Chains A and B, each alone.
Chain A
Amino acid sequence: MINIVWAIVFVLVAPLIGGLIAGIDRKITAHMQGRVGPSIFQPFWDVGKLFEKENGVVNETQIFYAICYVIFMAFTGALFFAGGDLLLVIFALTLAQIFLVLGAYSANSPYSFVGAERELLQIMAYEPMVILVAVGLYVATKSFSVSDIASSTVPVILLIPGIFLGFIYVLTIKLRKSPFDISTSHHAHQEIVKGVTTEFSGRSLAWIEITHWYETVLLLGIVYLFFAFNPLLGIAAIIIVYLLEIFLDNTNARAKWQFALKSSWLIAVVVGVVNLAALYVLNGGVS
């Protein structure tokens, strides 16, 4: 069943949580690099400042795509936290992502063009694994509905550990962490200008940053689903997974897209076939 209250809570609160996570991320990253780092509220000041900037655009359609990107990402997350259908959540996520890509294309600039193509490569790299997550959760809990999965008492992680590992692998792409921050990165040192966000500035860029916060909360919500039978374990898993991503981010240089695509697909095929086949046998030939 769809729970409207949770949807509204997500839309209002997720940016705050996502922003805080980004702030903590920067603090830990700084410590790992032997720096003090900014305040954990720095992402909010940054975004606030972007809103005050003069609005410079290459053309007006960019603003439209940035707005669509944030609206559909908020919609996707709201659908997820309201307990909607997980497959529909994933399709809505793709739709939101496509708006960012179109925004980058629309600028007709070489750098954002390359960013757009790379963003599409990344989508192609992670999408199979993300849908397999939904399929795995369905096989484990007999439902695609997020509310059913979240309230299920089945120890999902024990049934689909392979799929969980596969998801962690592509999560690096989705969170734009090294080595897979191929289309755009938060690190200045390995960026070809700014990839997919090159031509966005001011308000539009601020919206894109907020969208990233929404997305982070949504993705960590999917991590939680694997451990939903024990909420405490779920929250612990989220923290450990995110710390792992920060660690990976700081110990890896950007990989080539060929590696990102091949490795993500290979992992998706292997864990998909092995894990789903094992479940199939366990369930006695009924998937």
Chain B
Amino acid sequence: MQLTQLLIFLILFPLIAAFFLLIAKKDVERNWIVKLSALIIGAVSVFLLITTYNKGAMLVSVIPAEQTGILMFVLEMLIAVYILYLGITYKKWLAVALILVQTVMILFFELFYAHGVHVESNLFIDEFSLIMAMIIGIIGSLICVYSLGYMKFFHEHHTEMPDRRPRFFAILFIFLAAMFGLVFSNNLLWVYFFWEVTTLCSFLLIGYTKTDEAINNAFSALWMNLLGGIAFTCAIIWLATAGGGMLGLSDLLTTGKAIALIPAALIGFAGLTKAAQLPFSSWLVGAMVAPTPVSALLHSSTMVKAGVYIIVRFAPIFQSTFTGYVIAMIGALTFLIASGIAISQSNAKRVLAYSTIANLGLVVACAGIGTYEAIWAAILLIVFHAISKSLLFLATGTVEHRIKSREIDDMTGLIVRTPKIAAMMIIGIAGMFLAPFGMLISKWAAIQAFIDAPLGFLFVIILVFGSAMTVFFWAKWMGKILTVTSDGKNIEGEVDKSEWAALLSLAGLSFVTTLVFPLLSTVLLEPFLLFNYGHVARLSQDNIIIMILMLFLIVLLPLSILIPHRKHRHLAPYMGGRTTTQDMRFSGSLGVQKKTVLSNYYLHPYFGEAKLRPLGIWLCSALIVIMLLATIAKGVIL
């Protein structure tokens, strides 16, 4: 069957690419392998879309399940041994303890329950998986291509670090394979296996540079995700015992809440750890030590998206349950608090990290509420966030190599100094918060979804505050980039072609997806919602036309600069009557020449990390405990 072959190809092909990347030592070979593989993965993903978009949900059951299961079990054990070895080497006892607990649980399951489990179909595909596959296949492979140029530059300028690029690129592709596996798996044991592989890959990528900071942050990412892994294992064991061995995702979602709620809550918890929701947000912020393409990959198309994917998958179970509402509240508070913290951050990558955490919070809030409108908003958020965020990370990475800084205040006047990359960055930022771009459409959908849900007004109120803070931190960054400095020199220089290819494609995608999102909605989202919820959500025709009109205005207006205009007299900025030089220097007291330096507002006393993070950690930890206790209590009573 063609579909089976396509799905297996997408899971296995990146592994083959990874193998060749591991043995290829020359730059030329690596360039070819990465570019070709990325092209093939992207093309096959699109082909999959074209052939299956109108077929609805399909199960695939022709794979020899038993042998694959044994293979996965062996690989899981090898991963456990490897993590154990690294944990002991670096004396990270928390990670060691967690991996031991998890391994014992898995062994326990395999010995006593595994034979009782039988899942008819191990793989499946539906519209949501298809959308995720597009994100992984297109954005993920673009990031791999970008990494070629970035990592070359990185090692030319960080000669103190060992050049471990073969390994780096191999892990990138294994990551893609695991993500494909995760979104195509129907068997929860398979989902779990791929889940653990993504944990391992992110751990290895974060620790890539092997500095003390990198190692510490890698282990902190590891233990938080292992905690999620343990919850996942609990869910599997619960299903194998109390659930009668029902480990198929499609069966589980149709059985109803009585059986599925407890495993859904446990897997939801695992999703919260992976999606870096409070109190687990610190691993994603710590992951910033890794080379920038890794951040782009973790934030846009892999890892955190696996977390929200699984929560959105279980949304029908969460809908109008107490468990669902608590999960939604964790997401909403994460959105609010992370947006606040982002205001106080001056480091561009940290702003991006907190913005990711915030937007994932919004997705989790939508999924926890679980109505068809909320799920519509959630999936749109996942799509648009992936595009804009990857673009922003990659643009930041390219800028970083030119200005040697990640500070936003150092990005003053990028529009003069690196005009083309600055334009990419502006498209990315506009995509994150301005009408008529994608993220704003999604937030709009979220407001509508919340207000129509029971008790939704509480979530709306949280959303409007979070979104106001979003406007603040994005706009001040945008303003810094667009400042026209009179002494700015163009330092853009030669940007690597692979970097350009990725940046341009993503910028193009931002516009195209905004333009064709009604199509995305009717072709993929509406059938998915109709099948799972019996209702469809969409934007009215009028609004779509107005949004398209706005998009055209935004595209056309900058072209007005090309129209010849009258000469204007150029004046120096007003400096209170002081004489200034061309580069904005003025004579201070005692005749000292001073340079005008303008720094953004970060409002530390109000939005500082030290103030808001503990608050978020306590609130959300308490909510998680309440959620788990309430779910278990309910399950036991039932």
Residue numbers of A with Cβ under 8 A of B are 1-2, 54-61, 63-64, 67-68, 71-72, 75, 79, 84-85, 87-88, 91-92, 94-95, 98, 101-102, 104-113, 116-117, 120-121, 123-125, 127-128, 131-132, 135, 138-139, 144, 193, 198-199, 265, 268-269, 272-273, 276-277, 280, 285-287
Chain A residues whose C-beta falls within 8 Å of the C-beta of B547 in the assembled complex: 88
Chain A's closest residue to B572 (CB) is: A58
CA distance A121 to B606 in the complex (A): 13
Instruction: Pick 6 A–B contacts, CB within 8 A, sort by A.
Output: A58-B573, A64-B558, A85-B546, A105-B483, A113-B598, A287-B456
Please count how many residues in chain B sit with their CB below 8 Å of the partner chain's CB atoms: 63
Complex Cα–Cα for A54 and B483 (A): 23
B471 at the interface (CB under 8 A from A): yes
Chain B residues with Cβ under 8 A from A138's Cβ?
A: 451
Complex interface: stretch among B97-105, B119-127, B397-405, B462-470: B462-470
**B575-596, CB < 8 A from A:** 575-576, 584, 596
In whole angstroms, how far apart are the Cα atoms of A146 and B542 in the complex? Answer: 13
B486 contacts across to A, CB distance below 8 A: 59, 108
Stretch of B20-28, B286-294, B560-568 contacting A (4+ beta carbons < 8 Å): B560-568
A109 B568 Cβ-Cβ under 8 A? no
* B residues 533-552 touching A (CB-CB < 8 Å): 540, 542-543, 546-547, 550
Docked Cα-Cα span, A121 to B584, in Å, equals 26
Q: What would 8 more interface pairs be, CB under 8 Å, given A109-B573, A128-B467, A132-B464?
A: A84-B543, A95-B434, A106-B484, A116-B476, A121-B601, A135-B457, A199-B574, A272-B457
**Given A64-B561, A84-B542, A110-B596: A127 and B467 within 8 A (CB)?**
yes
Given the known interface contacts A91-B440, A91-B444, the answer about A57 and B570 at a Cβ–Cβ threshold of 8 Å is yes
What's the minimum C-beta distance from A227 to chain B, rounded to whole angstroms?
22
Give complex CA distance A59, B448 in Å.
Answer: 42
> In the complex, which residues of chain B have a beta carbon less than 8 angstroms from the beta carbon of A273?
457-458, 461
A140 to chain B, nearest CB (A): 12
When the two chains form their complex, are residues A57 and B568 in contact, meaning their CB atoms are under 8 A apart?
A: yes
Q: Is B553 an interface residue (CB 8 A)?
A: yes
**Contact of A101 with B479 in the complex, beta carbons under 8 Å:** yes
In angstroms, Cα B457 to Cα A88, docked, is 19
- A109 proximity list for chain B (CB < 8 A): 573-575
Q: Are B464 and A63 in contact (CB under 8 A)?
A: no
Decide if A276 touches B461 in the complex (CB within 8 Å): yes
* Cα of A117 to Cα of B598 in the assembled complex, Å: 11
A87 and B571 CA atoms in complex are apart in Å by: 40
Residues in chain B within 8 A of chain A (CB atoms): 412-413, 434-436, 440, 444, 447-448, 451-458, 460-461, 464-465, 467-469, 471-472, 475-476, 478-480, 482-486, 540, 542-543, 546-547, 550, 553, 557-558, 560-561, 565-566, 568-576, 584, 596, 598, 600-601
Contact check, A106 vs B543: say whether CB atoms are below 8 A apart.
no
CB neighbours (8 Å) of A199 from chain B are 573-574
- Set B455, B471, B484: member contacting A108, Cβ < 8 A: B484
Choose from A57, A102, A128, A287 the contact partner of B571 (Cβ within 8 Å): A57
For B472, the chain A residues whose CB sits under 8 A away are 120-121, 123-124
B574–A193 CB distance below 8 A: yes
Distance between A176 CB and nearest chain B CB, rounded to angstroms: 18
Kindly report which residue of chain A lies nearest to residue B481, judged by CB atoms: A105
Distance between B617 CB and nearest chain A CB, rounded to angstroms: 22
Q: How far is the CB of A45 from the nearest CB of chain B, in Å?
A: 24
Minimal Cβ-Cβ distance residue in A for B479: A105
Q: Report the separation of the CA atoms of residues A141 and B465 in the bound assembly, to the nearest whole angstrom.
A: 23
From A85, A117, A269, give the contact of B600 (CB < 8 A). A117
Q: Smallest Cβ distance from B422 to chain A, in angstroms?
A: 12
Question: How many Å lie between the Cα of A230 and that of B383 in the bound state?
Answer: 44
- The CA of A120 and the CA of B628, in the complex, are separated in Å by 40
Q: Is the CB of A287 within 8 A of B454?
A: yes
Measured CB to CB, the closest approach of chain A to B439, in angstroms, equals: 11
Other-chain residue from A55, A71, A85, A127 in contact with B557 (beta carbon distance below 8 A): A71
Report the minimum CB–CB distance from A203 to chain B (whole Å). Answer: 10
**B413 CB contacts on chain A under 8 angstroms:** 108
Q: How far is the CA of A127 from the CA of B457 in the complex (A)?
A: 16
* Residues in B neighbouring A98, C-beta threshold 8 A: 434, 471, 475, 478
- Please report the C-alpha to C-alpha distance between residue A2 and residue B454 in the assembled complex, in whole angstroms: 30
Do residues B574 and A198 form an inter-chain contact, with CB atoms below 8 A? yes
Interfacial chain A residues near B601, Cβ < 8 Å: 117, 120-121
A31 to B543 alpha-carbon distance, docked (Å): 45
- A87 to B565 Cα, complex, angstroms: 36
Knowing A102-B482, A106-B484, A110-B596, say if A57 contacts B434 (CB, 8 Å).
no
Bound-complex Cα distance A75 to B471 (A)? 20
Q: Is the CB of A63 within 8 A of B600?
A: no
- Our pick among A55, A85, A120, A135 for the contact of B460 (Cβ within 8 Å) is A135
CB pair B546 A277 closer than 8 Å: no
- Kindly state the separation between the CA atoms of A117 and B409 in the bound complex, as whole angstroms: 13
A75 CA to B546 CA, complexed, in Å: 10
Report yes or no: B546 in contact with A55, Cβ–Cβ below 8 A: no
Choose one: B457, B467, B546; the contact of A84 (CB below 8 Å).
B546
For B553, list chain A residues within 8 Å (CB). 71-72, 75
Query: Closest CB of chain B to A5's CB: distance in Å?
Result: 15
- Assuming the contacts A105-B482, A276-B461, asked whether A57 and B574 have C-beta atoms less than 8 A apart, the reply is no
Given contacts A128-B465, A138-B451, A276-B461, is CB(A59)–CB(B600) below 8 Å?
no
Looking across the interface, which residue of chain B has its beta carbon closest to that of A93?
B435
Which of chain B's residues have a CB closer than 8 A to the CB of A265?
465
Considering the chains assembled together, what is the distance between the CA atoms of A58 and B570 in angstroms? 5
9 tightest A-B CB contacts, nearest first: A109-B573, A105-B479, A91-B435, A127-B468, A276-B457, A128-B464, A131-B464, A59-B484, A124-B472
Within the complex, the shortest CB–CB distance from B109 to chain A, in Å, comes to: 43
Q: Are A135 and B435 in contact (CB under 8 A)?
A: no
B482 contact set on A, CB distance < 8 A: 61, 102, 105-106
- Complex CA–CA separation, A113 to B455 (angstroms): 41
| Distance of A277 Cα from B569 Cα, bound (Å) | 57
**Contact between A124 and B478 (Cβ–Cβ < 8 Å)?**
no
Closest residue on chain B to residue A125 by CB atoms: B468
Q: Which of B448, B461, B476, B546 contacts A272 (CB 8 A)?
A: B461
- Interface-central residue, B451, B547, B566, by most chain A CB under 10 Å: B451
Q: How far in angstroms is the closest Cβ of chain B from A200?
A: 11
- What are the residues of chain A within 8 A of B475 when measuring CB–CB? 98, 101-102, 120, 123
CB distance from B48 to the nearest CB of A (A): 34
Residue pair A287, B452 in contact (C-beta under 8 Å): yes
Q: With A and B bound together, what is the CA distance between A269 and B451 in angstroms?
A: 16
